[in-house]
Structure 1
Amino acid sequence: MALFDQEEPALQDITLVPRPRHVRAAGSGTLDLSPGIALRHPAALAGPAGLLRELLADLGVGAGPVPLLLAVDESASTAGEAYRLEVTADQVTLTAAREAAILAGISTLTQLTALAVTAPAAPGPSSSAPSRPVLSAVTIEDAPRFAWRGLSLDVARHFFTVEEVTEVLGLMFDLRLNVLHLHLTDDQGWRLDLPSRPELAERSSGSAVGGGRGGYFTARDYAQIQQAAARRGITVVPEIDVPGHTNAALHAVPALNRSGVAPEAYTGIEVGFSSLDAALPATATFLRDVFTDVGAMTAGPWVHIGGDEPPEMDRAEYAGLMEAAAGEVVAAGKAVVAWQEAARASLPPGSVVQFWQEDEPTEDVVAAIGAGARLLLSPATRAYLDMKYHPGFDLGLEWAGHTELQDAYEWDPAGVVPGVREEDIVGVEAAVFTETLTTREELLVMLLPRLAAVAEVAWSQQSGRDWSGFATRVGALGRVWGRGGLVWHRSPGVAWDRAAEVDEPAHTGREAESGPPSRTA
């Protein structure tokens, strides 16, 4: 079955991102959702059904007579998030074996509806009237290429609120991303209040790059983010970065310093100057308290222990610190995620190693995979969405070069790390670090449209992807972003529909200095 059957005229307006596996016309009719939907579902799908009602109501589709059925079919494919969405002239049916797959199908259905209501009006006397939610009769059978499709969001360099993070979760759901990796700690700030270590948030949450506003999540805030994520089928992975990137911790806990004197709060963007000290008794206690608390507060199965860009230290000392942190995560009942440098240590089987440094040797990474770890791909030149779009762009950094939309799209995860099989790759994750990003609008401009590109890399089969097709489809998606009040960068090579645009913001954030050739994560 072809991915997109171009011989079927009814499919010409199916411009979904990410691209589904199989799409075919289901007759020549259409289905108008304007009268409203009669949603039927088993009790087990009450949560997804409630979300679907809200999303369709935001698009002007309320309750009414049009049948819309959510169905659990135990005989359907049980592979991850596989689903079947069928639109006929009479009704909509979404079928899958698991709730996560139903949610993926809901994302597709709501994107189809959003594209319909934002479609350009046909020329004629009623051309000024708003478009209606009329769907082509179509059958979509879909499943993701990779199980982990993530976004790493840095709230340490500049803090973003619960409301702002929740908006990002909505955007992730629209693109069928399912992991939010929160970079909660760094040299510039500590962003999560922990019951056994209240001094961390009390003393080290008020700072940010350039002296900007600080902030932190209370336990209730963190729970609220996780609840909003879970409702959308998204798992939250918290990152507590050790042993480097720890000035905020050293500032809050003098006993973590060999001198016993806490360093000043840090508001720059240099890296590689702060570290935990394995020789200090306070270090082991700190790791135990922090990762025990974070594990207890986290609903999902993973905790990220960082491990990137350690300052110069003996390999054995670094490995010992990482193994101690990993041990506390396992003791807390969670699985370990760590940046690729942590492959120098002996990680527990089932750990996830996150790859980002394309110019570094990969022997340790390949060895860790051979010992039972899984690989998560975030190659900086493709997936780091804090890189400038082009020279002179007034947000972002450029230590990894410049990343336009086409750069973020045209790569194959299977070819990134030689010697690793595709079945050893757990997924793909975009990352946005916030040295230069201070507002919601600035964050969105760096995410969009590139997050859509990485989402399709993570979801769609390599054989079914091509730049020209994606450029057409993401151009249509821009109408949806405009209707939702989102802002985005008008990348070249895309026919953006300017009728529904929201102006790109004046970038008022402080321009960070270039810094060293480092990711500064």
Structure 2
Amino acid sequence: MVTVRLHNTTVAKPRRRDPPVSQRRTLPLLLAPLLLVVAAGATSFAAAPAATQRAAEARPLGQVIPAPASVSEGGPSYTLTRRTRIKVEAGSPEARQIGTYLADILRPSTGYALPVSEWNDWDEWDGRGGIRLRLGSGADSLGDEGYTLESGQDGVTITAPKPAGLFHGVQTLRQLLPAAVEKDTVQDGPWTVAGGTITDAPRYGYRGAMLDVSRHFFTVAQVKRYIDQMALYKVNKLHLHLSDDQGWRIAIDSWARLATYGGSTQVGGGPGGYYTKADYQEILEYAASRHLEVVPEIDLPGHTNAALASYAQLNCNGVAPPLYTGTNVGFSSLCVPKAVTYDFVDDVVREIAEMTPGKYIHIGGDEAHSTSHDDYVAFMDKAQSVVGKYGKTVMGWHQLTGAKPVKGAVAQYWGLDKTPAAEKAQVAKAAKNGARLVLSPADRAYLDMKYDKSTPLGLSWAGYVEVDRSYDWNPQTYLPGAPAESVLGVEAPMWSETVSTNDHIEFMAFPRLPGIAEIGWSPASTHDWSKYKVRLAAQGPRFSALGIDYHRSSKVPWPEE
């Protein structure tokens, strides 16, 4: 049995604290990868050169995740040395910030000083070589998040139209260096980047991951750690599920008991917790420094027991229910006819909108089984107008399409392959009428689903979701009848009924999250499980270097470490 517990973590390359989840698995699961390798023989590793390359060899430019849009390999490689410097665009604080971020990653493992300084004349070097970070310079066709990376004997140059693209290019550079570059103590080199050029830009603008902080609360430090892991794979949205039956996790000044009382517990009866406005601001700023936008969610009108317990007047009978620490769903509902309900919604949305610079506010809308259909439609009409009133774009789970989505609303689809055709058709119809879609099919993208029956964490109501299944789907064609242009992107939710520590998050997210990130970033033409699993295997040592307790799926030819 896995013990559910809550603990703090540090942010800067923390190591494992608890016995990792991977060490709690049964013996047959531990032996599965070894037996797969023995059965396959040496040819398994011959098929995975990136996973078994010697430290002295440079990783091929295409052997990163997500797969780049275009790769041209060849020419001399570049090796970082003690003389290497990081040069950034003169007069660009954004480029300097990214250069400092890169230096902070590389210095502990290389032991090099890697000074960061501005550079004006990009046509001349002083013979030392280095890493150059440039904004603009005719790369506008790559959009807000695209970049080029050029590597040769004189150094590596990353060029992007916007800071986000420059940051994403830095993540590619990290993966081109040996995995040991992620460690926080000095390691042996060499630190070589293969020669050639990468030209890259995302397929979709929305590439998200959701963290449920309501069923189990996660501290600011724990959220930051997950943000850093998401950023490595170019995820650009952090969806925070801030309220549910088991806990309210964000301070609202006008309704203070939501957090102080409604946030005082969690699944299993633990201490819970909530984010002060200062805490939330810290998360927002940290996410922005990693070029992630935070999408806050207040789930309405169901999943509201924490709110109903905090304020009796939100209940139709005027009686507050007790706090809830179980895992059932669908039993709670705001009182739709009451005027105070909309005072509550207005105040909550207003305060969150004032704090949140991103464009979206997510209002939930799923599993409102205790709300009649007519009441649901009436409530969502009013709630959507409140979100618009405060200048935000409304998001909701795909049940929103059973009401009347406002123009430009985003429906997050979480159905299954086997979801009834009528429900899928309802979502597709809304998309044809102007709704936008973010796809999170539960039997593909839910990171809290078990890998197989022996997985010690997670749920299985959507089925088992192994690594290959989570990768093997195409957002453009997944929902029949939905226009391809209606799809904004993808998101990988992590619900936390059984997840309460960073080790738990990491074991369930890795290695599936990088695959979802690739589905959102890379061209459809690059999607090939047989090739992807080789690139994924090469990430194993990087996961380990970062202290990530990942699931060693037998579907992947992991190298020995």
TM-score (norm 1): 0.89
Deviations 1:207-226 (A, max 9, x none): 11111230100000000001
SS in structure 1 at match of 2:76: strand
Return the offset for 1:285: 0.8
1:63 paired with 2:114, answer yes
Q: CA deviation at 1:78?
A: 4.3
Give SS of 1:19's match.
coil
Q: Secondary structure at the match of 1:38?
A: strand
Which range is displaced more, 33-42 or 366-375? Answer: 33-42
Q: How many matched pairs?
A: 484
Identify which of structures 1 and 2 has the higher relative contact order when contacts are C-alpha pairs closer than 8 Å and 6+ apart: 2
Query: Deviations along 1:4-31, whole A, 9 cap, x unmatched?
Result: xx9xx97647420111111122413333
Residues 354 and 376, structure 1, Cα contact 8 Å, conserved in 2: yes
1:274 corresponds in structure 2 to: 332
Q: Is the 8 A contact 2:214 2:242 kept in 1?
A: yes
Distance of 1:13 and 1:104 partners within structure 2: 15
Work out the CA distance in 1 between the residues paired with 2:58 and 2:114: 26
Aligned to 1:453, the other structure's residue is in SS state: helix
Of 293-302 and 44-53, deviating more is 44-53
Q: What is the 5 A alignment of 1:363-382?
A: 363-382=425-444
Q: CA deviation at 1:36?
A: 3.1
SS at match of 2:77: strand
Q: How does 1:115-134 map to 2 (within 5 A)?
A: 115=179, 117=181, 130-134=188-192
Please give the secondary structure, in 2, of the residue aligned with 1:418: coil
For 1:125-164, what aligned pairs fall within 5 Å after superposition?
Answer: 130-164=188-222
Structure 2 partner of 1:254: 312
Distance (whole Å) between structure 2 residues aligned to residue 114 and residue 246 of structure 1: 47
Superposed counterparts of 1:41-440, under 5 Å: 41-44=89-92, 45-60=95-110, 61-63=112-114, 65-73=128-136, 75-76=138-139, 77-115=141-179, 117=181, 130-358=188-416, 359-360=419-420, 361-440=423-502
**Whole-Å Cα distance in 2 between the matches of residues 58 and 150 of structure 1?**
29
Question: Would you say 1:459 and 2:521 are equivalent positions?
Answer: yes
C-alpha deviation, 1:116, in angstroms: 6.9
Identity of aligned residues (%): 39
Q: CA deviation at 1:118?
A: 7.7
CA contact (8 A) 1:151 1:431 kept: yes
Whole-Å separation in 2 of the counterparts to 1:135 and 1:283: 58
- Alpha-carbon deviation of 1:35? 3.6
Deviation at 1:475, TM superposition (A): 1.2
Distance 1:486 1:134 in 2: 24
Distance 2:393 2:359 in 1: 6
Structure 2 matches for 1:433-452, cutoff 5 A? 433-452=495-514
Indicate conservation of the 8 Å contact 1:116/1:132, yes or no.
no
2: CA distance between counterparts of 1:10 and 1:485?
23
8 A contact 1:31–1:88 mirrored in 2:
no
Question: By how many angstroms is 1:397 displaced?
Answer: 0.4
Moved more, 37-46 or 351-360: 37-46
What whole-Å deviation, never above 9, does each CA across 1:247-267 have from its counterpart, x for those lacking one? 001000100111211000101
Secondary structure class of the residue paired with 1:299:
coil
- Partner secondary structure for residue 43 of structure 1: coil
Indicate conservation of the 8 Å contact 1:144/1:459, yes or no: yes
Q: Using the alignment, how far apart are the partners of 1:68 and 1:30 within structure 2?
A: 10
> 108-117 or 308-317: which moved more?
108-117
| Structure 2 equivalent of residue 15 of structure 1 | 63
Q: Is the 8 A contact 1:395 1:437 kept in 2?
A: yes
Q: Which is further off, 311-320 or 328-337?
A: 311-320
Instruction: Return 365-374 or 28-37, whichever deviates more.
Output: 28-37
- Shift in alpha-carbon separation, 1:328–1:33, aligned structure 2, 3 A: farther
Contact 1:80 1:147 survives alignment (8 Å): no
Partner AA of 2:87 in structure 1: L
The whole-number CA distance in structure 2 between the counterparts of 1:392 and 1:137 is 43
CA distance in 1, matches of 2:77, 2:415: 50
Unmatched segments (≥5 aa) in structure 1: 1-5, 120-128, 500-521
Q: Deviations over 1:393-444 (max 9, x none)?
A: 2100000000111111111111211112222110000011000011111111
Distance in 2 (CA, whole Å) between partners of 1:32 and 1:259 is 69
Say if 2:246 and 2:267, in contact at 8 Å, map to a contact too. yes
In the alignment, residue 99 of structure 2 is paired with which amino acid? A
CA distance in structure 2 between the aligned counterparts of 1:166 and 1:385, rounded to whole angstroms = 18
Any idea what SS the aligned residue of 1:454 has? helix
Structure 2 contact 86–99 (Cα < 8 Å) conserved: no
Greater alpha carbon shift after TM alignment, 438-447 vs 65-74: 65-74
Distance 1:116 1:445 in 2: 20
CA distance in 2 between partners of 1:59 and 1:442 (Å): 26
Shift of 1:73: 2.3
- Maintained 8 Å contact 2:211/2:241: yes
CA distance in 2, matches of 1:275, 1:258: 9
> Over the residues paired in the alignment, what is the CA RMSD in angstroms?
2.0
TM-score, normalised on structure 2? 0.83
| Correspondence for 1:38 among 86, 105, 119 | 86
| Structure 2 residue matching 1:27: 3-state secondary structure | coil
Q: Distance in 1 between matches of 2:549 and 2:106?
A: 22
Give the Cα separation in 1 of the matches to 2:295 and 2:454: 33
- What stretches of structure 2 of length at least 5 have no aligned partner? 1-49, 51-56, 116-127
Q: Which amino acid aligns with 2:212?
A: D
3-state SS, counterpart of residue 254 of structure 2: coil
For the residue of structure 2 that corresponds to 1:170, the secondary structure is helix
- The structural deviation recorded for 1:131 is 3.2
